[in-house]
């Protein structure tokens, strides 16, 4: 998304060539491959650990840290690899997003008209909102002091794993004029206006 916004604002004329179907598929494959390789590496190392005693994970889902707590052996290598891989997986995208928005902001400030600047800012607002929510929850999740109450850790993991991804389509769809009109009509309780917003569905 950061690359798309950068090309759309800073390189608008060759946009269709730079952001071709092949380019988008290459970027998606790269991100999926990185996530798969990271998960596979942690899974292999976790499978090699000895587990004894109870096998109940005290969590909502099989988070790697919750699973490692059940291991009877030495998990120093797993913890070190988790720290390194978290940095490798999260920091480069964050730096690229930051760098792209430095260029975007520079380009927007050179736009002479206020309407043009507003349109450019609104193009980036949904993506920036998602980035702030995503990295904000990650930072709070992994850089906060260790909670004495396990319920707080579970609640934070639930927010990070369920609430944040659920907000993404809502945030992006609120840029659509028809969705905005339907939402306003829904909040006002006017059913006829909601029906008018989506005549094709009816």
How far apart (Å, rounded) are the C-alpha atoms in residues 126 and 171?
Answer: 6
DSSP string covering 174-190 = TTSHHHHHHHHHHHHT-
Show the low-confidence residues of the chain (pLDDT under 70).
Answer: 141-150, 174-177, 179, 190-202
In which residue are the tokens 């944040």 written? 164
Structure tokens at 154: 């579970």
Q: What is the pLDDT of residues 119-162, one digit of tens each?
A: 777 777 777 777 887 777 777 766 665 555 667 777 777 777 78
How far apart (Å, rounded) are the C-alpha atoms in residues 31 and 89?
Answer: 9
Structure tokens at 38: 């990271």
| 178, 201 contact by CB (below 8 A) | no
CA 36 to chain centroid: 16
**Residues β-bridged to residue 71:** 51
In which residue are the tokens 């949904």 written? 126
């Amino acid at each position: 998304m950061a690359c798309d916004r950068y090309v759309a604002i800073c390189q608008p004329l060759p946009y269709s060539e730079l952001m071709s179907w092949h380019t988008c598929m290459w970027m998606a494959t790269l991100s999926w491959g990185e996530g798969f390789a990271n998960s596979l590496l942690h899974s292999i190392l976790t499978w090699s650990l000895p587990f004894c005693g109870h096998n109940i994970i005290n969590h909502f889902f099989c988070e790697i840290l919750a699973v490692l707590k059940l291991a009877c052996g030495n998990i120093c290598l797993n913890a070190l690899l988790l720290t390194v891989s978290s940095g490798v997986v999260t920091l480069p995208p964050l730096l690229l997003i930051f760098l792209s928005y430095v260029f975007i902001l520079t380009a927007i400030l050179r736009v002479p008209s206020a309407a043009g600047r507003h349109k450019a800012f609104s193009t980036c607002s949904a993506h920036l909102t998602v980035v702030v929510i995503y990295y904000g929850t990650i930072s709070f999740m992994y850089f906060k002091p260790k909670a004495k109450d396990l319920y707080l850790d579970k609640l934070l993991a639930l927010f990070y794993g369920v609430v944040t991804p659920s907000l993404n389509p809502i945030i992006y769809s609120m840029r659509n004029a028809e969705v905005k009109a339907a939402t306003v009509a829904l909040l006002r309780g006017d059913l006829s206006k909601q029906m008018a917003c989506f005549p094709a569905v009816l």
